[in-house]
Amino acid sequence: MRRFFISFMLSCLFFSCESGEPKLQELRGSVFGTSYGIQYFDSQNNQKLVQAVDSVFYAINASLSTYLPNSIISRINKNTHVKLDNIFIEVYQASLSVYKDTEGRFDPTIGGLVNAWDFGPEGAEKDLDSLRIAQLMTGVGFNKISIFDNELQKSNNAIYIDFNAIAKGFAVDEISKLLDRFGFHDYVVEIGGEIRTSGHNIDKNKDWKIGIDKPNFDGTQSMITAIELKNQSMATSGVYRHYWVNDQGFRYAHIIDTKTGFPSRTDILSVSVIANQCMIADAFATALQSMNSSEADTFLKKHLDLKVMLITAKPDGDLELKYYNGFPSN
C-alpha cells in the first residue's frame, strides 16, 4: 500500500483570534491503513463535520476496502454476487477511463499480483516463480470485467480487484465535497499523500503551499521542492519508501507492471500529478510510475491536460526534476 507524506507549509496550526473570527481547525487520524489530515478555517471545531467525515470514511471502506472481509469489493473477490453501491460504480467508471487512456498501465485487476508480491492484504506467496505469475496474469485485464444489472460481471473467477491506487484520491474528493457542502471554502485535505486544496491560507493571505518529499531510501524525510496549489488536487506515487528486498538483496518496488506481472523497474523515483479530481491524479500517478522516464515523456506529450513532475535517478546517482504541461517549477 502506498503511503507518501506531503508537508503543509504552515507556520502554525492554531493561532489566537477574537471570538467569532475564523481560525485554523485541524482533524487528524488514521484511515485506509494510512494517515489523514483536514485543515479548514472556522470559529470553532465543528463536531457535525467530524461525524460527517467519519461517515464518509466508513462508507468508502464498506465499499472498497480489500482489508474488510464483508466489504463489497471483498465479496466480489470471493466471487459472491453482491449489488454495487454508488461509490463502487463511480470508482469503477473512473478506473475504466484511466485504464483506456493509459492502454492498461493502470489496471485495478492487478490485485492478485499485488498480493503475491506481498504488497496487499493477502500476504506473499511462497515459491513465487514465472509459471505462477503467468497463471495469475490470466486474471489481469480491466476489460475482463463489466457492470450489468448493478452487479460486477467477471470473465473468470481468478480476477481479483484492488482499487487502492485510486481509492485514497476518491476519498480526498469526497471529503472536499463534504467541506464545500458545509460552507467551507479555504481548506486542505490530505490522505496518505493525496491532496486537494481550496481557496487560500487565510492566516498568511496566500495560496496553500505544499512541499513534495525528496526520494530518500534511508527512511529520512526531507523536501525537494514546494509549490503553490489552489483549487486543485495532487497525487504522488514513488518507489523509494515501499519495497522489499529478497535474500539476494534485490529491491522490489510496490508498483506491479500490468504487462508482465513483475514489480516495475524504472529510473523514475517519484511522480506527482496535478488534476482537477484527486482520484484521476492518483490513478495517473500510479500508471506513470510503472513507466520509465522515456515512456512517460512520450505519454505526457500526448496528454497535455496532465500537469506532472517526475523525479528521476541519473546514471551518476544524482536526482533530476522534470516538469510537464505547466506543473509549477517552484
Q: Which CATH class is domain 63-155?
A: mainly alpha
- Looking at residue 265, what is its pLDDT? 76
Which range is least confidently modeled, 4-13, 44-53, 63-72, 252-261?
4-13
Residues 6+ apart with CB under 8 A from 263: 117, 243, 252, 253, 254, 255, 256, 257
Mean pLDDT computed over every residue of the chain = 86
Closest by CA position to 233, among listed 302, 182, 184, 171: 171
Mean pLDDT of 147-159: 94
Indicate if the pLDDT at residue 9 is higher than 50: no
Compute how many other C-beta atoms are within 10 angstroms of the C-beta atom of residue 100.
Answer: 12
Return the H-helix or E-strand segment holding 321.
strand 319-324
Phi-psi region of 110 (alpha: psi -120 to 50; beta: other; left: phi over 0): alpha
Q: Cα separation of 317 and 330, whole Å?
A: 23
User: Which one is predicted more confidently, 326 or 132?
Assistant: 326
Q: Cα separation of 320 and 54, whole Å?
A: 40
- Looking at residue 5, what is its pLDDT? 36
Confidence of residue 250 (pLDDT cuts 50, 70, 90): very low
Mean pLDDT of 219-224: 79
Indicate if the pLDDT at residue 267 is higher than 90: no
What's the CA angle centered on 146, arms 145 and 151, to 5 degrees? 110
- Looking at residue 12, what is its pLDDT? 35
Indicate if the pLDDT at residue 225 is higher than 50: yes
Q: Cα separation of 19 and 23, whole Å?
A: 10
Closest by CA position to 322, among listed 225, 252, 202: 225
Q: Give 257-266 pLDDT, tens digit per residue.
A: 888 888 877 7
Half-sphere exposure of 210 (CA within 13 A, CB side): 28
% of the chain exceeding 70 in pLDDT: 85
Mean pLDDT of 272-289: 96
Q: Give 100-125 pLDDT, tens digit per residue.
A: 999 999 999 988 887 787 666 666 66
Indicate if the pLDDT at residue 176 is higher than 70: yes
> Dihedral sign, CA of 263, 267, 272, 273?
negative
Confidence of residue 245 (pLDDT cuts 50, 70, 90): low
Indicate if the pLDDT at residue 178 is higher than 80: yes
